[in-house]
């Protein structure tokens, strides 16, 4: 990241949008911009799809962020069954170089923001609430809304910058969480306890849980349950095993508890899901 970028960064928010499924129906699930005439920032809060930026394709899902510099060709596409729901910010900016009490306006960098073109954000709940606040401020048009929108946009960018700082400064810890997630995916059918997972990567329980949620968007136990349920769904659709046997095979010792968790997650009982 360019040193001191945000100390000199002065953005102007031009518009803020929030897209829903009806938008994609109108666009036939694909939007092409041959040469961006304005800087764009996108945050996906639900759905799946992909974006092509100057011919390079990136997959998108909940928590994805991408930004589009000037003159960039981009193609944004959504799946039909899980439409991309997102916030977008059209913006411009100047770079202000301060010397004492005097400021000099510099031309902004052509490439735009000092982040990777596409990133997966960790604290999705916090970021989504921040973008919703930005959207409400902009469309509320109350006194000072432009200034408040600028502050909200800066807060969002600073959150991304902080994530980058953590990733770059604590790579070893991040790799520990990745190893822990790999272990869970490989041993989901075994008894998994949070304190044992934390000990396996030499972290305290609280620090492990914090880092796991920050990196994955789920608590360790939520992630374990999701992996187990995903495997249960596969077995329900692709085998004739009894539901009680499937529950045991994916790590649930109590079939009734498995059925309750499954119904809460999917909206279907295991039996109904198998028949659907």
Summarize pLDDT for 17-59 with one digit per residue, the tens.
999 999 999 999 999 999 999 999 999 999 999 999 999 999 9
Summarize pLDDT for 206-215 with one digit per residue, the tens.
989 988 887 8
Residue 105 has pLDDT above 80, yes or no: no
pLDDT of residue 242: 94
- Lowest model confidence (mean pLDDT) among 37-51, 90-104, 109-123, 226-240: 90-104
Residue 100 has pLDDT above 70, yes or no: no
Summarize pLDDT for 109-126 with one digit per residue, the tens.
556 788 899 999 988 999
Which long-range CB contacts under 8 A does 221-226 form with residues at least 24 apart? 221/194, 223/181, 223/184, 224/184, 224/188, 224/192, 224/251, 225/261, 225/265, 226/265
Going through 100-247 in order, the beta strands assigned E by DSSP cover 102-106, 118-120
> Residue 251 — very low, low, confident or very high, per pLDDT cuts 50/70/90?
very high
* CA–centroid distance for 57 within its chain: 17
User: Considering Cα of 215, then 216, then 218, then 223, what sign does the dihedral take?
Assistant: negative
> Residue 16 corresponds to which tokens in the numbers above?
């803020």
pLDDT of residue 2: 47
């Amino acid at each position: 990241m360019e040193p001191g970028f945000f100390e000199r960064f002065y953005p102007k928010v031009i518009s803020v949008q929030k897209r829903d499924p009806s938008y994609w129906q109108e666009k036939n699930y694909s939007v092409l911009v041959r040469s961006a005439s304005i800087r764009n920032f996108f945050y996906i809060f639900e759905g799946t799809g992909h974006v092509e930026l100057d011919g390079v394709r990136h997959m998108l899902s909940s928590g994805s962020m991408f930004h589009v510099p000037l003159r960039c060709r981009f193609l944004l596409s959504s799946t039909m069954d899980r439409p991309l729901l997102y916030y977008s910010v059209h913006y411009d900016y100047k770079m202000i170089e301060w010397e004492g009490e005097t400021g000099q306006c510099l031309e902004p960098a052509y490439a735009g923001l000092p982040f990777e073109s596409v990133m997966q954000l960790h604290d999705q709940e916090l970021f989504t609430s921040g973008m919703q606040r930005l959207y409400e401020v902009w469309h509320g048009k109350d006194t000072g809304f432009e200034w408040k929108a600028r502050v909200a946009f800066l807060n969002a960018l600073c959150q991304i910058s902080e994530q980058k700082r953590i990733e770059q400064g604590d790579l070893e810890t991040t790799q520990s969480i990745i190893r822990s997630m790999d272990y869970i995916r490989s041993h989901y059918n075994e008894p998994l306890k949070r304190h044992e997972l934390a000990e396996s990567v030499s972290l305290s329980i609280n620090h492990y849980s914090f880092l796991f949620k920050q990196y994955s968007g789920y608590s360790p136990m939520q992630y374990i349950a999701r992996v187990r349920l995903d495997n249960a769904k596969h077995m329900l659709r692709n085998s004739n095993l009894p539901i009680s046997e499937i529950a045991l095979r994916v790590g649930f010792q109590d079939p009734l508890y498995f059925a309750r968790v499954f119904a809460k997650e999917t909206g279907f009982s295991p039996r109904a899901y198998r028949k659907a």
